Structure 1
Amino acid sequence: AGSVWGRDWVHAAALLPWIIIVLPYVLSQTRSLNNLSLGDETAAGIGTNVKRQRLLLLGAAVALSSASVSMAGGIGFIGLIAPHLARRLVGPMYQHLLPVACFVGVVILVVSDTIGRSVFQPNAIPAGVVVAVVGAPYFLFLLSRTK
């Protein structure tokens, strides 16, 4: 279900190389992400190498998500819900969306972990279960609103 229970600074230090190397690359590619969101033909017309950028950004996404899942487990609804909430807050431009989505994901994780540890004392519920209980209905709501 995914949890941050039992993690300490040694585990955070193991994530640090991934964050230091891959995250700045992704944040530097926000212009390419904006171009790719316009569609393949338009992005190619603007001068973006669509195939190359898509593969590089996909590799970066896999690297970051693999590193985080190896630390905390599969807390999947954070990755599904945080970008949608961030897009509602700041709009579709990736130079604003990516940092806000990261922050929203962290807030969701901390709040879920706090709820799972404190509300159901003396038993602790993993953060992934709390996120799924709240995130699944919200995600279904988002799916029902799409055309």
Structure 2
Amino acid sequence: MGMGSLNGATPFMLWLCAGCCLCLILFYQYYAKALNALLLGEAEAAHLGIHTEQLKRQLIIATAIGIGIAVSASGIIGFISLVVPHLIRMTLGPDHTRLLPLSAIAGAALLLLADVGARVWLAPAELPVGLVTALIGAPFLFFFYYSNVSA
């Protein structure tokens, strides 16, 4: 698998990823308001009646399951979707009721565009899609890190 690819997709992996994605979207949408409360801080969220430790544990487990399935299906290219929520948050704000579904849709669209770009850019040769996602993700990572360091 190396840098990651969408070439090894099977119907089983497609249905597994689609089912997991749907479950995770519903899970995160259910907890969107609690996530918004966590933006205020753990103490404030606890004062609003949110069991922060339990919520954090559930979120970590759900995220680990989602990332595990995505990486097992496509390799490291799934991590390009970590860029998308930050871009959406910077443009539309931190409201998780909008951020979560838009991140899912935009993350899929970004990976699709990266795959199409990898297939078309140097046609008839084909670049590994992992290289394209790295070209997108690495500069963003440096920008995001250094913009937060100076703040």
TM-score (norm 1): 0.90
Pick closer, same or farther for the CA change 1:142–1:20 going to 2, 3 Å: closer
For residue 16 of structure 1, what is the aligned residue in structure 2? 18
SS in 2 for 1:74: helix
Gaps of 5+ in 1: none
Matched, 1:91 2:93: yes
Aligned equivalents of 1:140, 1:130: Cα separation in 2: 16
What letter is aligned with 1:40? E
SS in 2 for 1:109: helix
Gaps of 5+ in 2: none
Aligned equivalents of 2:84, 2:5: Cα separation in 1: 17
Alpha-carbon distance, 1:10 to partner: 3.5
For residue 5 of structure 1, what is the aligned residue in structure 2? 7
For residue 51 of structure 2, what is the aligned residue in structure 1? 49
Percent of aligned pairs with the same amino acid: 29
What letter is aligned with 1:50? T
What letter is aligned with 2:71? V
For residue 38 of structure 2, what is the aligned residue in structure 1? 36
What letter is aligned with 1:85? L
What letter is aligned with 1:66? G
Alpha-carbon distance, 1:28 to partner: 0.7
Q: Which of 42, 60, 63 matches 1:61?
A: 63
For residue 78 of structure 1, what is the aligned residue in structure 2? 80
Could you list the structure 1 runs, at least 4 aligned residues long, displaced by more than 3 angstroms after superposition. Answer: none
Contact 2:25 2:100 (C-alpha < 8 Å) held by counterparts = no
TM-score (norm 2): 0.88
Contact 1:82 1:101 (C-alpha < 8 Å) held by counterparts = yes
SS in 1 for 2:122: coil
Aligned equivalents of 2:125, 2:10: Cα separation in 1: 20
Alpha-carbon distance, 1:77 to partner: 4.4
What letter is aligned with 2:18? L
